[in-house]
Structure 1
Amino acid sequence: MLTACGVDVPAKGKHGACPICGGTDRFHFIDDNHHGDWHCRQCDQPNHGDGLDLVARAKGITILTAAKQVADVLAIPFPEPKPVKEQPRTVKPIAERIAELVAKSIRGESPYLARKGLQCPNQRLLQNSLLLVTQTLDGTITGAQTIKPNGEKRLVSGTQKKGSFILASEIIGTPDTIIITEGYATALTVSQLHHDGTVLSAIDESNLLNVAELVRTQWPESKIILAADNDWHKQGEKDKSGKLKKNVGKIAADKLTELL
């Protein structure tokens, strides 16, 4: 069998050249139990083994590859390793993940808001970034937005933005007036100036209509004020990509006024 695998050995019980390191009589082919047992006086440790070890070391291959070669010689079907079943990832519900982030947060003053002149010492912070929980009108937690000190905004993975908002003031009963802004900083500013209304941040201008429609459905008699950003620019001014700038906030507010 060893010869069929390309490994030359002396007769059983005899000495001869080592298939691994050469020489003339350093190798002893023992094979007492028909397992191809061998011993070599000059091989690096381990300097002994069975026939499978000998095939692997003589040919410079792995034990698994040697086993396949032996199986081919003996015409024995070699079992293919069973594929490891990938365990399905268990994704925690978004509300549970946000609760864990909230538990890790601390209360303090946001550098981002401070740069905008807003003194709000009781904000929820996570690694110095604002952690703003998003929700729906029935109080369901839908995710969160983080805002770094440099103003970089990001939604936590899995956050449902459409129809969700960030509370800037508490909702009590049926509000007489609901003010909807784009970003959270604007919502805080408005809430400090307008103490009688409920203020919601729609996260960005693309979500203004979604939130406004849900508010109108929930409270058809309430007054809705859209405090969209006035993205003013000079006529003919272009953005970084070379396109003419648009007053996106005003366009969105005008469109919402028509629809509502």
Structure 2
Amino acid sequence: MNNPEYEARIEDVKRRAHGRWTEILGSLGVGEQILKKRNLPCPLCGGTDRFQYTDKFGEGNYHCRACGAGGGFKLLQAVTGLDFNTALKEVERVVGTSRPAPHVASPEPSAERMKALAKRLWEEATPVTPGDEVDRYLSGRRLALAHYPKVLRLHPALGYYEKDPTSGKSRKVAEYAAMLACIQGADGHAVTLHRTYLKDGRKANVSEAKKVLSSGINGASVRLFEPEHELAIAEGIETAMAVHLATGKPVWAGLNAGNLEKLWLPDSVQSICIYADNDAQADFDGQMFAFALARRLKKQEHQSGPRQVRVLLPKTPGTDWADVWLAKAEHASRTT
């Protein structure tokens, strides 16, 4: 039976633990060797070097080639032998609690408020034009276009917020120009916004220069160029634009590796090229989720009809297709 109060408690602890899992796990008895992000035997299923702790998404993330991926709670339980309720109490003891008293509204913004905020920010922004801050940033990445997609806009002074580690509350610490990208769901309606904070023609020098306004994009994407029968898929917005410039193909950006495999794509698209990041120097997330998307698309052919699906990877480990495009553009400028 669902217990809303207990579930709210779990979500509160997860929120407060986000970005702190390495510290939390270390303080609760998970050995330093496990947390060094090296290949090791899996604490859950053994082996020799199939496991790696990555904390890639700030949730104590790990990946095992045998038993799959997991997060901080699962890892803590595997190493210490604690049941989930005891593990929850231990993590809560480390991070504290900010749960509201009974019958007091949660401080988390509602979906309606977040949608209203996204709408307001979008209306404050303007289309990208040559010479503005977004154009300067993209030009510096060799991604300038004569006409930019309508799903990108420039916000002239967007607040940058950071969470106070003690109270857990967000506070505005600065304002920057920002590139806004509209994230659309399966019905074509805006789900939320992606923000890239900018300064002096570059990403702002802050801890999170790129942020999604709210969580739960769940298969939504930034539809930079509308497809007919062919569509290219990439992870980041800049990578998607690089693919478009290199190939002329319409491209959508899935924004992160985990969302890539969930992407909604129209049945009318019969040729799909997935331009994956080469994460061979990290934990292979780019490749894994790209092939997971390809596999899902092939399995759905009974609904969509036959499809040509390909996954393409840069040759150099640790690079994406934006890196490939930039290197090519810089080589061309040196030889002309």
Q: Quote the Cα distance in structure 1 between the aligned partners of 2:140 and 2:212.
A: 21
Q: Quote the Cα distance in structure 2 between the aligned partners of 1:252 and 1:160.
A: 17
Residue pair 2:231, 2:269 contacting (<8 A) in 1 also: no
Residue pair 1:98, 1:133 contacting (<8 A) in 2 also: no
Structure 2 match to 1:206: 258
Residues 1:98 and 2:118 aligned together: yes
Counterpart pick for 2:212 among 144, 155, 160: 155
Kindly, what percent of the aligned residue pairs are identical? Answer: 21
Structure 1 match to 2:274: 226
Cα deviation digits, residues 193-250 of structure 1 (max 9, x gap):
333x431100111111100xx31xx3166111111112343xxxxxxxxxxx323212
- Cα shift at 1:177: 1.0
| Secondary structure of residue in 2 paired with 1:170 | coil
Residue pair 1:168, 1:191 contacting (<8 A) in 2 also: no
Residue pair 2:232, 2:273 contacting (<8 A) in 1 also: yes
- Cα shift at 1:124: 1.1
Amino acid at match of 1:163: G
Structure 1 match to 2:234: 181
Counterpart pick for 1:141 among 174, 178, 190: 190
Cα deviation digits, residues 99-126 of structure 1 (max 9, x gap):
2111111333424423322224755112
* Structure whose CA Rg is larger: 1
Residue pair 1:112, 1:147 contacting (<8 A) in 2 also: no
Structure 1 match to 2:294: 257
Structure 2 match to 1:167: 223
Amino acid at match of 1:223: S
RMSD over aligned CA atoms reads 2.8
Task: Give the aligned length.
Answer: 156
- Could you say if the C-alpha distance between residues 114 and 231 of structure 1 is closer, same or farther in structure 2, counting changes exceeding 3 Å? farther
* TM-score in terms of structure 2 length: 0.41
Residue pair 1:181, 1:202 contacting (<8 A) in 2 also: yes
Counterpart pick for 2:245 among 189, 192, 197: 192
- Cα shift at 1:258: 3.3
Amino acid at match of 1:210: K
- Could you say if the C-alpha distance between residues 168 and 94 of structure 1 is closer, same or farther in structure 2, counting changes exceeding 3 Å? same
Unaligned 5+ residue runs, structure 2?
A: 1-102, 158-176, 298-336
Residue pair 1:177, 1:223 contacting (<8 A) in 2 also: yes
Q: Quote the Cα distance in structure 2 between the aligned partners of 1:86 and 1:255.
A: 42
Unaligned 5+ residue runs, structure 1?
A: 1-84, 234-244
- Could you say if the C-alpha distance between residues 112 and 204 of structure 1 is closer, same or farther in structure 2, counting changes exceeding 3 Å? farther
Structure 2 match to 1:124: 153
Greater helix share, 1 or 2?
2
Residue pair 1:143, 1:155 contacting (<8 A) in 2 also: yes
Residue pair 2:262, 2:293 contacting (<8 A) in 1 also: no
Structure 1 match to 2:172: none
Residues 1:113 and 2:138 aligned together: yes
Equivalences for 1:234-245 in 2 at 5 Å? Answer: 245=282
Structure 2 match to 1:26: none
Q: Quote the Cα distance in structure 2 between the aligned partners of 1:144 and 1:247.
A: 27
